[in-house]
Amino acid sequence: MRLGIIGFPQTGKTTIFNALTRGNRPASASAGRIEIHTAVVDVPDERVDRLAQLFQPEKVTYAKVTFADIAGLEEGSAKKGLPGALINQLSQMDGLVHVVRCFEDASIMHALGSINPQRDILAMDSELLLNDLGIIERRLERIKDELRKGGGREKKLIQNEIDLFERMKTFLENDQPLRDFEFNVEDKKFLSGFGFLTQKPLLIVLNLSEGQKVPEVHYLHQHSEILALQGKLEMELAQLSQDEAREFQAAYGINELGLQRMIRLAYDLLDVQSFFTVGKDEVRAWQVRRGATAQEAAGVIHTDLQRGFIRAEVIEYQELLRLGGMNEARSKGSLRLEGKDYLIKDGDIMHVRANV
C-alpha cells in the first residue's frame, strides 16, 4: 500500500510524514521544486504480536505501508500543467493524503494568505480535477482522430471509449471528482493505467496545533475521509520510546496514535484487509483486497503458489488462539480445507497447498 502525502506549501506535510514514519526529516521551503521522500512503515497489529507469542518464530513480519512526502504542488500548478515527474509519482500511489493547515503560526506564512481549511480542500480538489480533465481532453482528441481515420480498432470499441470519456469530462466539469463516478468492472480495469488523481481514495488530514478545536469542514464525496491530527504533538510522540510514549499519551489523553488511526482509515478507503501465515520460521501479515479469493491471496505470498494452487487450510484468528496452535487445530478438525474460490476474510490464517 502506497500513500502519497500532498498539500500546499507550509501546511505541515513533513511534520505529518515524520509523525507517521517516526522520522526527523527537516521541513524544507522547496515550493515549486519536486521532492519525493519515502519511508516504509510496519502496520501496527496486535494480532501479529499475539501470534508471535504463540509460535515463538524466528522472524516476525508485519504488513507494510509506504508513505511518500510529495513536495512541488502549488495553487495554480494544474493550469500550467503539472510536471511529468510529479504526475508520475502521484499516479503510482494507491491513495492520497491531503494535509490541510489549521494551525496558526505568525512566523509561517500560509501559501494562500490565511487559514481557511474549507477553501484549501476545495482548492486542492480543483488542482487535481484540472489535471484529470487535461488528460481526458487529450485522450478524446486522439481517439476521435482514430475514429475519423479508421483502419485500427473496431469503431464500436472506439465509440464506447469516447462515450466513457465524454461522460467523465462532463462529470469533472461539474466539479465532481471521479471517486463519485459509477464505473463498472470493465471500466475500472481499462482506466487503471491512466492514474486519474481524483479517482484515488482520499484521506484529508486536518493539521491542528496542540489543543486546537477541530474546525468544521465539509467534504461529502465517496471513498474519502477526514482525520484531525495534532501534527507537531504526534511528531514529538513518534520520537519517544514506547514507555515514554505511553506516559505521554496518558498525560495528554491520547488513546491512539495518528499512525494507527490513519492506517485503519486507509485500509477501509482502499478496501484492504490482512491475513496471516504462521509457523516456527515466521509469523507474517499480508495485505489483500477485500473480496479476494484464496487463490489470489496465495499469489500475494508468491506467484508460484497462485499458479499451482490446490487447496488452502484456513482457520480464523480467534479460533486458533482459543485452541492454542495449529497442531491442536488439526487434531480438533478445526482447519477447514477451502478451494480457490473461497473469499478470504480479515484475520484468516492460511496455509497453501500447491503443486510447485
Q: Which residues contact 271 (CB under 8 A, 6 or more apart)?
A: 289, 290, 291
pLDDT digits (tens, 9 = 90+) for 30-55: 555 677 889 999 998 999 999 999 99
Kindly list the averaged pLDDT for each block of 10 residues, start to end, along the chain of length 356: 91 91 71 76 94 96 93 64 76 94 88 90 93 94 89 86 96 96 92 92 94 93 94 87 83 78 90 96 96 96 96 96 93 94 97 92
257 torsion bin: left (phi>0), alpha (psi -120 to 50), beta (else): beta
Kindly write down the DSSP assignment for every residue of 140-199, as one continuous string.
Answer: HHHHHHHHHH-SSS-HHHHHHHHHHHHHHHHHHHTT--GGGS---HHHHHHHTTT--GGG
| 259: Cα separation from own chain's centroid | 12
**What pLDDT is recorded for position 239?**
84
pTM over 0.75: yes
Assigned C-alpha cell, 66? 509506504
In CATH, what class is 291-354?
A: alpha beta
Q: Where are the domains of the chain?
A: 291-354
Sheet containing 2-6: which strands, arranged edge to edge?
A: 35-42, 64-71, 2-6, 95-101, 202-208, 224-230
